[in-house]
Amino acid sequence: RTNWPGTTSTVSPTINSNSSTINPPSISSSISQENKTNDSPLKSSTSIQNDDPMSESIAFDRGILTYPLTNYTFGTKEPLYERDNSVQARFQRMREEFTTLGVRRSVEAVLLVHEHNLPHILLLQLGTTFFKLPGKTK
């Protein structure tokens, strides 16, 4: 369970099987906000500790920057329609593009923002059941 922001959550379940006890690693994470303004990013750190004396404790102090949702603007574009009628046709087109253009290069990312100090992930919705991250390929 995670409470945002400025609180720490810890998960440490115990698994029992065949009269032996296995203690999985304890994972704790915390999020802090340095400046309590709307433009300052939230930062998080995670640490993993295991009760096994043979293993080491690992700490991840990498910060994840999240910016306020108000920093972004949203709009709509004309709908994009699929070029191919079927999955097989799409794979055939991709094979042909590979022989002429080479390896396909693309970038994928997660847009993580915060609204009222709660993290949100931004996705694009295509139709009613398919979600995609924003961007396009050449």
DSSP-assigned letters across all residues of 56-84: PPEEE-----BEEGGG------PPP--S-
Q: Is the pLDDT of residue 13 over 70?
A: no
Q: What is the DSSP letter of 12?
A: -
**Is the pLDDT assigned to residue 96 strictly greater than 90?**
yes
pTM to 2 decimal places: 0.35
The SS3 call for residue 90 is helix
| pLDDT above 90 for 99 | yes
> Could you give the angle at the alpha carbon of 12 between the alpha carbons of 7 and 17, nearest 5°?
165
Residue 79 or residue 38, greater confidence: 79
